[in-house]
Amino acid sequence: MTISLTATGTNSQHGCGSAGLGSRIVGGRNASAGRWPWQVSLHWLGDHTCGGLPLHFLWTVYLGRETQDASGPDVNPHEVTRGVKAIIRHPDFDPVTSTNDIALMKLRDPVEFTDYIRPICLASNTSIFPPTTPCWTTGWGNTGLGEPLPYPRTLQEVRVKVVGNRKCECLFKDSIAVDITPSMICAGGVTGQGACHGDSGGPLQCRLGSVWVLAGVTNFGLPCATGRAPDGYARVSAFESWIRDTVGQADVGFTHFTSDRPDENPKFSCNHSHFYPIADKDSVYLPQQNGSSSVIFLEGTFKYFGLVYSQIFLNNNGYLTFDGSSPLWPPSGFPAHSNTDIIAPLWSSFDNSVPRSISYKQVTNGSLLQQATRDIQYHFPGLIFSASWVFITSWDSQMEAVSKNQ
């Protein structure tokens, strides 16, 4: 395994976190040369596999597990390549939960710091990154699901904001069950902007005055930049003692990151009855006299059983569908094999007389899914049924979930 570090220029020693020059990330932009002088590309058999960060002229921090191969950056005059002497993975790394997913690499030969190669400062164990703290993430990973960074594979950068751990875990629970531990930090969550395959091991870097501080190491997320949940990072401040013990006498720059932003994470309460309202730019077409259904053309798209949709139909008979009018109400049996995709749960009632008030969410686990199973079994006792996925809608003016008693 080898690593490539962006480099050129002088032989002077530089302090940590100082970018002397002007940064695949999904929804990112090309970074100018020298903007992120601590970005490392790890190569296996000549291909970029993940990112890393130089802490010292002999030490690099990166993700504890090996990532998938991806197209790597081309060699340029500002790079140097070094072999790896040793890899030290955190002793408590858990590949199932991604806890303690961090590692250190000792280089075979030292690196001379220049205007294009500098170490980044590390967040000390007293650092706090409140929600909405602005940061940046960088990498050479994919620019979309299955879309490698195109030639000439310039380092990408995108601005993200920190998300509190409680909110982060709440957002992930709508898709997958994941525990966000104190050794993790989350950021991003905006559709079309975030980390993707090949960005693992890269930095979540936040600015403190004129100094850049490493808050996290890119770890996990819902591929790629779906907007449904933030990206997860290994929280560097949680590993100060382990890093110091591992590197020994090496001079590694730990910095206390502070912010005057309020820390709202302890006050956050996860409420899974929240919905995503139709955006202001979505267009609603009301029913015509010929009996056709109301149609909403969505500003954004969403996936349903592998297909991507940009519109939905509102039917006055109690159904929400993708394909126009659905069977008459009430049904004689559960329409599991209807020729239309029916996504309105039978245990809810709707009122689409209030314009532009529809909200929706997807649920794959938790109490709402269990409640849907129980209610469907109650209405159709002869049906052998277990809900594994449910699409919940509300046409209520308060945008609240409709209970089975309504």
Nearest in space to 386 (alpha carbons), one of 401, 400, 376: 376
Indicate if 308 and 259 belong to the same structural domain: no
Q: Give the pLDDT of residue 31.
A: 72
- Secondary structure of residue 166 in the 3-state scheme: helix
Residues spanned by the domain of 40: 2-267
Final residue of a domain: which of 216, 249, 267? Answer: 267
Residue 49 near residue 73, CB atoms below 8 Å: no
Task: Look up residue 3 and give its two tokens.
Answer: 């690593």
Q: Give the pLDDT of residue 109.
A: 86
Indicate if 199 and 302 belong to the same structural domain: no
Total domains in the fold of the chain: 2
DSSP string, 12-62: ----TT--------BT-EEPPTTSSTT-EEEEETTEEEEEEEEEETTEEEE
Indicate if 121 and 241 belong to the same structural domain: yes
Mention every residue, 6+ apart, whose C-beta is less than 8 A from residue 155: 6, 23, 30, 31, 36, 39, 73, 138, 139, 140
Indicate if 109 and 12 belong to the same structural domain: yes
- Amino acid in the structure at residue 353: S
Predicted TM-score of the model (pTM):
0.61
Residue 248 lies in a domain: yes
Indicate if 251 and 316 belong to the same structural domain: no
Indicate if 72 and 110 belong to the same structural domain: yes
Residue 399 lies in a domain: no
Q: Give the pLDDT of residue 240.
A: 95
Residue 8 lies in a domain: yes
Rounded-to-integer distance, Cα 330 and Cα 332, Å? 7
Q: Give the pLDDT of residue 75.
A: 55
Indicate if 82 and 182 belong to the same structural domain: yes
Query: What letter does residue 95 receive in the DSSP assignment?
Result: T
Indicate if 18 and 137 belong to the same structural domain: yes
Residue 401 lies in a domain: no
CATH number, residue 207: 2.40.10.10
Final residue of a domain: which of 267, 287, 315? Answer: 267
Q: Give the pLDDT of residue 140.
A: 82
CA angle, residues 41, 153, 65, in degrees to nearest 5: 30
Indicate if 25 and 173 belong to the same structural domain: yes
Residue 406 lies in a domain: no
Residue 109 lies in a domain: yes
Count of beta carbons in the 10 Å neighbourhood of residue 110: 10
Final residue of a domain: which of 210, 232, 267? Answer: 267
Residue 78 lies in a domain: yes
Indicate if 169 and 195 belong to the same structural domain: yes
Indicate if 258 and 281 belong to the same structural domain: no
Q: pLDDT (tens digit, 0 to 9) for every residue of the chain, 406 residues total?
A: 555 554 333 333 347 877 754 434 565 567 766 678 888 877 676 666 677 776 666 677 755 544 333 334 445 667 788 888 888 999 999 888 889 989 888 888 888 888 888 888 999 999 999 999 999 999 888 877 777 777 767 888 899 999 999 999 888 876 676 889 999 999 998 877 888 887 888 899 999 999 999 999 998 887 777 777 899 999 999 999 999 999 887 778 899 999 989 888 888 877 643 333 333 334 444 444 444 445 655 555 555 555 666 666 655 444 455 555 444 443 333 333 333 334 443 333 333 343 434 445 556 666 666 766 666 666 556 666 666 666 555 443 332 332 222 2
Residue 402 lies in a domain: no
Q: Give the pLDDT of residue 92.
A: 94
Indicate if 360 and 254 belong to the same structural domain: no
